[in-house]
Amino acid sequence: MEHARYRFLIADDHPLFRGALRQALEGMFDGVVIVETGSVDEMSKALEEDEDVDLVLLDLNMPGVRGFSGLLYLRAQFPTVPVMVVSATEDPVAIRRCMEIGASGFIPKSLGIEAIRSAIAKVLDGGVWTPPDVDVASRDESSDLVARLASLTPQQVRVLMMLSEGLLNKQIAYELSVSEATVKAHVSAILQKLGVESRTQAVIAASKIEAGQWQALQPAT
């Protein structure tokens, strides 16, 4: 691969692993630009300031997010920015979910540095990369739901996460600095997109693809 001035954003709350990824990237390219963030909120602010990045390397579990909600938010808010998930989990179902949501690849943290470089290189060349023993093409009863969740707008993702935390409309309105009427409109749109009839059903639907509760993602200020 040609050496070019690539720009990367590493979103991981573990400094040691961020350092390992930085080492891997700096060993691949000359003059590489790397931005490090330790939370989804920091990642969002960094991308709002500069979306011209070639690849985001995203940890699934960071402060402000849990499960797939960070990836859903990233794909909704910055749909043109390629993202590879870098995670300690090696669960084939979780890997398949990430690819269904729109990730360009999935790197288990157990991979060696050369394997990580090879995976990143393939994605930068326009391909996708997942562990070779994972069948990402298979679908199950949750695949349609994942597609529906992936159709939510960034604000709708935020609202759904807050609904999953049990927040009321007025509390969500306060957190997002919008009116209750706006929140009600977002909730109605969420119900329609997910094909459910109540807030409770929406939360249950979201939890079907998650282990554990979603944590509220604070809006960037």
Q: Which of 102, 100, 200, 90 is closest to 140 using CA atoms? A: 100
Instruction: State whether residue 65 is helix, strand or coil.
Output: strand
Q: Are the C-beta atoms of residues 74 and 43 closer than 8 Å to each other?
A: yes
Confidence label for 64 from pLDDT (cuts 50, 70 and 90): low
What is the CATH class of 143-207? mainly alpha
% of the chain beyond a pLDDT of 70: 88
Domain borders along the chain are 7-124, 143-207
* Beta strands 33-37 and 7-11, pairing class: parallel
Is 143-207 in the same CATH topology as 7-124? no
Output the CA angle 53-59-60, nearest 5 degrees. Answer: 120
What stretches of 15-156 adopt beta strand conformation (E)? 33-37, 55-58, 83-87, 105-108
pLDDT per position as a tens digit, 89-122: 888 888 888 998 899 999 999 999 999 999 999 9
What is the CATH class of 7-124? alpha beta
Instruction: State whether residue 54 is helix, strand or coil.
Output: coil
pLDDT per position as a tens digit, 208-219: 665 433 333 333
Instruction: State whether residue 56 is helix, strand or coil.
Output: strand
What pLDDT is recorded for position 209? Answer: 61
d(CA 45, CA 51): 10
